Amino acid sequence: MIKTVGASAVIKYKNKYIFEIQKRHKWYHCSGSNIVIGIGCIGGSIENEESPIETLRREVKEEIKTKINIIEWNSPFTINSNLEVNTIESKLEENLFFDWYGTREPYKKNRICVFLGEVIGDPFPGDLPGLLVADIELLIECIKNQSTIKHCINKGMEIINKEEIPLEAKIKGVGTVKKLEELYENHKSRIKHLL
């Protein structure tokens, strides 16, 4: 049985998009002093009997200390566990941008709902160490090249942080950002309006 376990959003902010810098306990420490930090979309796990939209609104408040407008969207699609992309014929959630499923057991039946949003006000990290403000194409390029945070800043990305973020740490896409990478590489037409 398919279970909706989370919600996230691709959130517009100042003509770019805002992403989470993952919490410190999720940072990957390689040999030596190399650190890899995951960059993801704002969102999280569904709690109790929340709807995906309720989850998203709660997570936005917790993670970026603000609210978002959900952008109307009428052409949802799905990325199944085999990474195939198909149009969704019936709407389960209003304004769903796309949904995706885990690629390995036991997560193949776990569904994540993704929405498009726009920040209301000025975001600041709540329960996150920092936020990354970036153009999606540039973010994907930097992830693909395993760029450092310092390189990302030099390329024009902005960091909004409440904790020190190591500038020599490399970045990688996680969760929904990983799905945006896959879409960019294989189904660019699905996200062309974001680029």
pLDDT tens string 29-83: 876 668 999 999 999 999 999 999 999 999 999 999 999 999 999 899 999 888 8
pLDDT at 80: 86
pLDDT at 32: 65
- CA distances (Å), 179 to each of 12, 127, 133, 192, in order? 17, 23, 18, 14
pLDDT at residue 91 tops 90? no
Span 155-178, average pLDDT = 96
pLDDT at residue 89 tops 90? no
pLDDT at 142: 97
pLDDT at 108: 79
Q: What are the sequence ranges of the domains in the chain? A: 3-194
74-83, 84-93, 153-162: range with lowest mean pLDDT: 84-93
CB 169 within 8 A of CB 56: no
Put simply, whether the predicted model's pTM sits higher than 0.85 gets the answer yes
**Distance (Å, whole) CA 141 – CA 131:** 18
Span 151-175, average pLDDT = 97
pLDDT at residue 90 tops 90? no
pLDDT tens string 98-142: 999 987 776 778 999 999 999 999 999 999 999 999 999 999 999
pLDDT at 82: 83
**Distance (Å, whole) CA 185 – CA 176:** 14
User: What are the phi and psi torsion angles at 52 (to 5°)?
Assistant: -55, -40
State the Cα torsion 57-58-62-63 to the nearest 10°.
-40
pLDDT at 93: 82
Q: What CATH number should be reported for the domain whose range is 3-194?
A: 3.90.79.10
Structure token pair of residue 69: 């407008």
81-85, 95-99, 112-116, 157-161: range with lowest mean pLDDT: 81-85
